[in-house]
Structure 1
Amino acid sequence: MQTVHRQLADKNEATESVTRRIAKQLPAKIIIWSFLLFVLVFTLFPVLISVLGSLKTNAEVTAGGTFFPQEWKFSNYLEAWRQADFARFSWNSLFISTMTTVIALLISSMAGYAINRREFPGKRFYMIVQASTMFISIGAVVLRPQFELIVAMNLNASLWGIILILLGSHAAVFFMLIGFYGSIPRELDEAATIDGCSFYGVFFRIILPLLRPGLAVGALFQFRNAWNEYIIPLVFTMTNPKMQTLTVGLANLRYGYNAATQTHLMMAGACISLLPILIVYVFANRSFMQVTAGSVKG
């Protein structure tokens, strides 16, 4: 009987302990969740305004005063697609963004592997050069030299000229992948080398598959940057409108045939341009939380 009473007392004491712990943690959790909810609303509110604005008439968007459309104009998307020639411009943006992402990931992954696994003359200088491209921005000053360089290479009539220029902004992916390389044990390289694998064989057969989470994250950022680029495609496609990207074509929706501002069509075009980024994020998000821990048994 005493044993039963003791067990009940222990249960009551444990329950009270859990209750006190929850009571202490509750204010902190309320603050954290309130902050996260505020950030969520603050982030999604402009997107919601754009989506609703894309379904209004131009007069309703300009006048304001309404949150939901009085008349849902789904035809705005078809009109924006037709006026901005979205089919051609979407293909140009997709080609530029995809090729820039693939080539940048290849260059960054190979350079990061050499930097992380090898010692060679000029290694520190190379790191400084890569870092300088991130922290030193000279903006539009380089547009003219870049354009003259592309013309001299006879790439001004091709999308490859824009791709070549955009590849210069891969330093962020390079440093990101170096961090992922640090989590891959060097014992894998040594074991593969002992088994007869060459330096390139180790990279492509062993390291690259383990680097998929880092490549996915890098692909998301590189694709987003290339997709949203505006100034470089605008400058390099002035003489050839058929090479314009979606961001440049979207800006052309600002004024219609009668020189009136078409805010509703710009919002519809902006919503259309968001879809590829969302699709890439959905696929890349699967790899965000993956780690390489457990690849080597202790």
Structure 2
Amino acid sequence: MLNPKWLATFEHLVKTRSFTKTASQLFMTQPGVSQHVKKLEAELGENLIYREGKQFELTHAGSMLADFIANQKLQHHAFLAQLKADDAHRGAIKVACSGTMAMKLYPLLLDLQCEHPALSVSLEAAPVERIRHMLMSNDIDIGISTQRIDHPAIEEKEIGQEHLAVVVPSSHEIKEDIYASLAELGMVIHPDGKHYADLVLGRNFPERYQGVDSIKQAGYINQLAQILLPVAQGLGFTVLPASVIEQFEHVDKLKQLPLEIAISQPLFLSQKKHRKLPHRYTRVLELIHHAIATTK
């Protein structure tokens, strides 16, 4: 990196076109000014000026260096202006969350972007480990997960609860022995299915439930919006956040199974410690809380 003091001396020399004036303005000697120019020339391996008596002219390399210094100053001022100008209606919104929350939050964020087109929304549905990685690499500014990240560089707080439900076909008759009926029907598995089933079935049927592997598998699907299709067609049951059921097109073909113990899981909002969010996230946080308030 070129020495900033040498560059400042050269910048003044270009402006004044005089070694005497430059030395006077910078409280240096004329030999000191010449020494700074020579050090720059040695560093760059190029002549920067050529003398004509008491006058001098810039070489091609000298003109390029003068332009470089001017551009650096412009970039510096532009950066400071951008740093201070935190527009609440401009910039990137980068969020990662569970698939369930994405279904609720994404339409709200798109409405916000339609209202303020200078905003740019990036939303990724991701598991907690992916959210942690994206926060640490600064690929997102906010994460919403159903499990704690527990990383010293990340701060997180619980912002709500998400109710979990056992969903069965509305046409299916659930007998008095609820667990036996579920086992006979079989479970439609999905990426979070084991976690949800362990929480709900493990609490409600602790003496009989021995993990999803002990229940007949009625199918597998990894697309959140498609998980309820086989259930609606009577092919099995599944365990999902209740809010997913509410958004399903054929909700009349489903029913939630009443359980003795209602199970909810916490929702955590996470962000990088000591990294202040831009003003545009004030509205985003309001939308997140709104989405959670309707996620029961």
Normalising by the smaller structure, the TM-score range is under 0.3
Question: TM-score with structure 2 length normalisation?
Answer: 0.19
Question: TM-score with structure 1 length normalisation?
Answer: 0.19
Question: 1 or 2 for the larger relative contact order (CA 8 Å, sep ≥6)?
Answer: 1
State the structure with more CA Rg. 2
